[in-house]
Chains A and B, each alone.
Chain A
Amino acid sequence: MELPIYLDNNATTPLDPRVLEAMLPYFTNKFGNAASRNHAFGWVAEEAVDYAREQVAKLIGCTEKEIIFTSGATEGDNLGIKGVFEMYADKGNHIITATTEHKAVLDTCKHLEKLGAKVTYLKVKEDGLIDLQELEAAMTEQTILVTIMYGNNEIGVIQPIKEIAAIAHKYGALFMSDATQAVGKIPVDVIADGIDLLAFTAHKMYGPKGVGALYVRRKNPRVKVTAQMDGGGHERGMRSGTLNVPGIVGLGKACELCRLEMDSEAQRLSGLRDKLESALTVLEESYVNGNVEHRLPHVANISFKYVEGEGLMMAMKDLAVSSGSACTSASLEPSYVLKSLGLSDDLAHSSIRFGLGRFTTEEEVDYAIEHTKKAVNHLRDLSPLWEMFKEGIDLSKIEWAEH
């Protein structure tokens, strides 16, 4: 077993060697531009892109014509939301999203507010799921788009996608989902789910960074988005720019592997995750964040009360994990996702996200359990709050000098 152990697979995943192998020829002798229609170099590249498009489409249950290649999920989110806002401007200007979305969605919506959009940011319940009644109450005749993520990047909760889509459609709005964390990990079927636009990326599913896709529905209804970059009119005019052929080949291969291995892999990962979680919640005053029924198989987000996340990560130096602690960000604000669940700031500061992946072994999880327990206990020995808690002092009654 090599140290440190990588348990941050929600940030990015390692490239699967099989994906790399598929990509390599397209960096060297198969270097052609997929848009070159008049020679063999172009045809070879185009053929590879077409094949990848099929592999991607198959994973999410759409046709290959509905796949727009992008540079990643951030671009997909931008193109989907801004593209719909522009394309359907005569229909309305109201967009509904949720407070726990990724910044690629939230900041895009904020940007559109400056351009005249009205945006509703739905709150989530304590378990991280949105309230469907609140969603329905927010729908108006002006609503053109509902955009709610599939699985959350920090806590892994899976939103009730089918029900959300049904409500959006009932009021004549489109439904988009940022499925960055879900595609490749759990079954995502755009037809069964009723999704009109779906953004995802390769590097969260063992593919390369810098490539992703946006699904744009072509039938019932036919959805169009206004291009956000002008140029050669690639990707049915919705996304100009010479195609990243090796990246797209990698995305295709990554999708194929995920599709073939999903069932067994999800089962293996949720088993390891449950093992990790039940071993760590044996520690006093430790809490799992987010709904534990509706969630991705590979994420565990746990708050260890009375220790601070960044300090804890320093003690867990053999583990690569992430924390909702403010100290890990430039803003000094703890995670807005955890705060949206109604977590107090101190619990948000005390959270650690464990993200398991395809290359995580049971031996590594066992090591992570022991290492984390030791670190939590060590830091609690250093923590004045832990000592006060043990003495039975009510910390909420103390007048803290906030700074």
Chain B
Amino acid sequence: MAYSEKVMEHYTNPRNVGTLNKDSKSVGTGLVGAPECGDVMRLQIEVDENNVITDAKFKTFGCGSAIASSSLATEWLKGKTVDQAMEIDNMDIVEELALPPVKIHCSVLAEDAIKSAINDFRVKNGLAPIELAKSHH
């Protein structure tokens, strides 16, 4: 299978690889996927007092499309408010990276990772987690 240029670009120069302090109250961590399924994403956000995401980092075990999806997600997250981040839809990632149908699950995983990071942040700060629609993969 040939990869799109954008996937290759993110894969070759992944943005925001790294680790934030998961114990900090201003950091939310999402760990989704499973090693048995061949992909695990860890996505972290750092949120300031205005509810703006000031930093985002990821590490991903998975194929090129999974790595590109999470790299793109971190790029999009920076500067958004948490509410805006909730709006990121997996299909936006599919479109931006021109993912083929067999790779759509990579974008779903990235969306799940964003939401799970936001919920982790909310719970840490005494807010109720947002009820998530059961994703379809």
Contacts and interface: CB of A to CB of B under 8 A. Distances in A.
Interface string A80-122: 0000000000000000000000000000000000000000000
Interface residues of B, number: 31
Contacts of A308: 38-39, 61-63, 66
B126 interface: no
Contacts of A311: 11, 61-64, 66-67
A338 to B, nearest CB: 13
B59 interface: yes
Interface string A329-371: 0101010000000001110010000000000000000000000
A327 B33 contact: no
B127 interface: no
A352 to B, nearest CB: 13
B60 A382 contact: yes
Interface string A363-403: 00000000000000000011111110000000100001111
A400 B40 contact: yes
A139 to B, nearest CB: 36
Contact of A382 (B3, B59, B109): B59
A383 B38 CA distance: 12
Contact of A306 (B14, B42, B61, B67): B61
B128 interface: no
A167 to B, nearest CB: 36
Nearest to B8: A314
A27 B108 CA distance: 53
Interface in A275-318: 306-311, 314-315
B37 A387 contact: no
Interface residues of A, number: 30
A382 B67 contact: yes
Nearest to A344: B36
A326 interface: yes
Contacts of B137: 403
A403 B66 contact: no
B45 to A, nearest CB: 15
A130 B125 CA distance: 57
Interface in B47-104: 59-64, 66-67, 102
A400 B38 contact: no
Interface string B16-60: 010100000000000111111111111000000000000000011
Instruction: Give chain A's interface secondary structure class.
Output: helix
A70 interface: no
Given A330-B102, A384-B41, A345 B36 contact: yes
Contacts of B124: none
A325 interface: yes
A385 B42 CA distance: 9
B105 interface: yes
A178 to B, nearest CB: 28
A402 B59 contact: no
A349 B38 contact: yes
A337 B60 CA distance: 26
A298 B31 CA distance: 40
A344 B35 CA distance: 10
B33 A326 contact: no
A159 B66 CA distance: 38
Contacts of A384: 31, 40-42, 59-61
B17 to A, nearest CB: 6
B60 A334 contact: no
B36 A346 contact: yes
A402 B36 contact: yes
A308 B38 CA distance: 6
Contacts of A325: 38, 63
Contacts of B112: 401
B41 A314 contact: no
Shortest 7 CB-CB contacts between residues of A and residues of B = A400-B34, A346-B35, A384-B42, A345-B36, A384-B59, A310-B63, A314-B64
5 contacts: A308-B61, A311-B67, A325-B63, A332-B102, A395-B35
Given A346-B38, A403-B105, 16 more contacts: A308-B61, A310-B38, A311-B62, A311-B67, A314-B63, A314-B64, A334-B38, A349-B36, A382-B59, A384-B31, A384-B59, A395-B35, A400-B36, A401-B32, A401-B33, A403-B137
